[in-house]
C-alpha cells in the first residue's frame, strides 16, 4: 500500500481526471450530488466557498497496492481501507469521492476530498507526507498487505501508458549512471536511449536546482523516477565515478626505481554504498598515504590506554 498525496487548486480538472479515465469506477462517495460529473464538481465548489481564500482546497490521494494482493482487494475491501486511511489522516466530516482505476497492474483508487469540511473548517495538511507514510505502514501491518518489492522486480510488461514510460526511464538512468564520469556523459548516453535530460536553474543564475527526464513527450522530475535520482544524489555518484576512474588510471602508471621494479602507491579501498534501489555497489575509491580514520582510532586507543595506566598507578599497592 502506497499513498501519493497531492493538493489542487480547482475541483474541475481533478474530478474530470479521476472519473473520465478508461474503466474508472466510482465505488464510494459522501456529501456530493451524484448523477453526473458536473453535479459532483458543483457540490465540491459550493462547499469550498465557505473558505474562499484557501488556495488549495482540493485533496487528492491515490492509494496503490501490490498486484500480489489483487484477489483480496474487492471494491468493498478498498472502501474499508480508504475510510480507515482517511480516519487516521484526520480527513473527517467532509465531502469525498473514491474512484477505482484499472489502467495499470497495481490495484489502486483515487480519493478526492474537500479540504473545507462540512463545518467550514480547513482540514490540516501539516506534515501530511510523513503522516501518509506512517499510516500506510500501519495499515499494511494490520491487514498483512504486501510491501513493495522495488522497481527492479516490477512486471513491466504489464504496465501501460505513463507508468510504462516511467519504468523505461528508470531502467535507462540506472544503466548509464554507472558508466558516466560526468553530466555530459550521462546526457549523451541517455539521449542514445531516447531519454532527454533537462536542468532546472535557480532564478536567472547558473545554479542547478533540479533535473527532469523526458521520453516520448512525457516528462518526469528526477525524484518521480526514484528517490535517488535527484540532482544532488546523481551528482555525488558521478563525482565518485570520476574519482574511481582516476584512481584506476593512477594504478596503471609505472614508476621505475634503481632495481628496475615498478612501485605503486599503497591503497586503501572503501566502498561507496548504492545510491539507487537495485543498482548494488557502484563504485570503489582509493585513498593514498595515511588514513585519517585509522589515525583517529589509534590516538583514541592510546588515550584510553593512558587512562587505564593512570588508574592503575593510583591503586594502593598490596603488601
DSSP sequence for 286-303: EEES--HHHHHHHHHHHH
Q: How confident is the model at residue 153, as a pLDDT? A: 53
Q: How many CB atoms lie within 10 A of CB 249?
A: 9
Sheet holding 208-215, edge to edge: 196-201, 208-215, 218-221
Look up the CATH number of domain 2-148: 3.30.930.30
Rounded CA gap, 110 and 94, in Å? Answer: 16
Rounded CA gap, 15 and 127, in Å? Answer: 25
Q: Which three cell numbers stand for residue 284?
A: 570503489
Which helix (H) or strand (E) is 221 found in, with range?
Answer: strand 218-221
Query: Percent helix, strand and coil across the chain, each rounded to 5?
Result: 45, 20, 35
**What stretch(es) of the chain map to CATH 3.30.930.30?**
2-148
Rounded CA gap, 267 and 254, in Å? Answer: 15
Rounded CA gap, 58 and 43, in Å? Answer: 12
Rounded CA gap, 63 and 18, in Å? Answer: 13
Rounded CA gap, 204 and 314, in Å? Answer: 68
Which helix (H) or strand (E) is 100 found in, with range?
Answer: strand 96-101
Are the beta carbons of 180 and 189 closer than 8 angstroms?
Answer: yes
Rounded CA gap, 35 and 19, in Å? Answer: 12
10-residue mean pLDDT profile of the chain (319 residues): values are: 91 95 93 94 97 95 91 94 96 97 90 97 92 92 76 59 85 90 93 94 88 93 83 89 76 51 40 34 33 50 62 53
Amino acid at each position: 500500500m502506497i499513498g501519493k498525496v497531492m493538493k489542487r487548486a480547482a475541483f474541475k480538472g481533478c474530478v474530470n481526471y479521476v472519473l473520465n479515465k478508461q474503466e474508472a469506477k466510482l465505488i464510494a462517495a459522501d456529501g456530493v450530488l451524484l448523477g453526473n460529473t458536473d453535479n459532483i464538481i458543483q457540490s465540491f465548489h459550493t462547499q469550498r466557498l465557505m473558505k474562499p481564500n484557501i488556495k488549495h482546497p482540493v485533496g487528492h490521494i491515490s492509494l496503490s497496492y501490490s498486484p500480489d494482493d489483487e484477489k483480496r482487494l474487492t471494491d468493498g475491501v478498498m472502501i474499508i481501507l480508504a475510510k480507515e486511511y482517511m480516519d487516521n489522516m484526520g480527513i473527517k466530516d467532509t465531502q469525498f469521492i473514491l474512484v477505482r482505476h484499472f489502467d495499470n497492474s497495481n490495484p489502486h483508487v483515487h480519493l478526492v476530498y474537500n479540504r473545507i469540511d462540512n463545518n467550514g473548517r480547513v482540514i490540516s495538511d501539516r506534515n501530511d507526507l510523513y503522516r501518509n507514510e506512517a499510516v500506510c505502514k500501519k495499515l499494511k501491518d494490520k491487514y498483512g498487505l504486501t510491501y513493495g518489492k522495488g522497481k527492479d522486480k516490477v512486471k513491466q510488461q504489464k504496465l501501460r501508458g505513463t507508468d510504462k514510460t516511467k519504468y523505461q526511464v528508470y531502467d535507462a538512468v540506472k544503466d548509464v549512471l554507472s558508466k558516466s564520469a560526468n553530466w555530459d556523459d550521462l546526457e549523451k548516453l541517455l539521449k542514445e536511449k531516447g531519454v532527454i535530460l533537462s536542468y532546472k536553474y535557480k532564478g536567472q543564475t547558473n545554479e542547478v536546482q533540479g533535473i527532469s527526464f523526458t521520453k516520448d513527450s512525457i516528462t518526469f522530475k528526477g525524484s518521480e523516477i526514484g528517490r535517488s535520482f535527484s540532482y544532488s544524489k546523481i551528482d555525488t555518484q558521478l563525482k565518485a565515478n570520476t574519482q574511481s576512474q582516476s584512481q584506476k588510471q593512477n594504478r596503471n602508471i609505472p614508476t621505475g626505481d634503481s632495481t628496475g621494479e615498478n612501485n605503486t602507491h599503497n591503497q586503501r579501498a572503501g566502498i561507496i554504498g548504492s545510491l539507487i534501489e537495485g543498482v548494488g555497489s557502484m563504485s570503489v575509491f582509493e585513498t593514498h598515504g595515511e588514513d585519517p580514520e585509522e589515525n583517529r582510532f589509534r590516538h583514541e586507543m592510546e588515550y584510553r590506554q593512558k587512562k587505564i595506566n593512570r588508574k592503575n598507578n593510583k591503586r594502593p599497592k598490596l603488601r
